Structure 1
Amino acid sequence: MATITLNVKTVRPLGERVLVKVSQSEEKTAGGILLPETVKEKPQIGEIIAVGPGRRNDDGSYQPLEVTVNNKVLYSKYAGTDIKLENEEYVLLSEKDILAIIE
């Protein structure tokens, strides 16, 4: 059986999908209480690492995505597929699951 080594440069999203590097979750509460791994919430903020070509129109051309590489975005809590590459957390999601660009 062949072994495939995946890294960020080898993953290229298709269609209207984007690859987002997940931001680190909060280590402690606003009151200063340290949180164990088991109660940390999945972050909903990340940085776009790669984007697909966009939606295909009826004439075969592509409609580009509204987001670009290096945008910080807020996305739906349970959206996408979680991926771990090179000990970093990523999520592969559709552009429609992105709620906002953070500036």
Structure 2
Amino acid sequence: MGLIMNGGDAKSSCMEAIYAAKEGNFEEADQKLKDADEALNRAHNSQTSMLTKEASGDKVDITLLMVHAQDHIMNAITFRDLAGEVVDIHRKISSK
């Protein structure tokens, strides 16, 4: 569940960063992107723990919940990359 929660938190922070940048509040946007990075780091740490467990010989069951969790992380990572670009675009537009 930590994967799903942290992935969701990261995506929410990315959306908040975009909204803040759209309003010209780049300090808040940068903080929200940092919050997203921290949530993704927590998700990555959980994921790495499971991968390490499996690599050491402990079988990890692949369930629908696990697939769903991985989907959340992948989408959050993609969303974070795009949010950073959108914030940068708003920053450039506002500086002109």
TM-score by length of 1: 0.24
Larger relative contact order, structure 1 or 2 (CA cutoff 8 Å, min sep 6): 2
The structure carrying a bigger helix percent of its residues is 2
The structure carrying a bigger strand percent of its residues is 1
TM-score by length of 2: 0.25
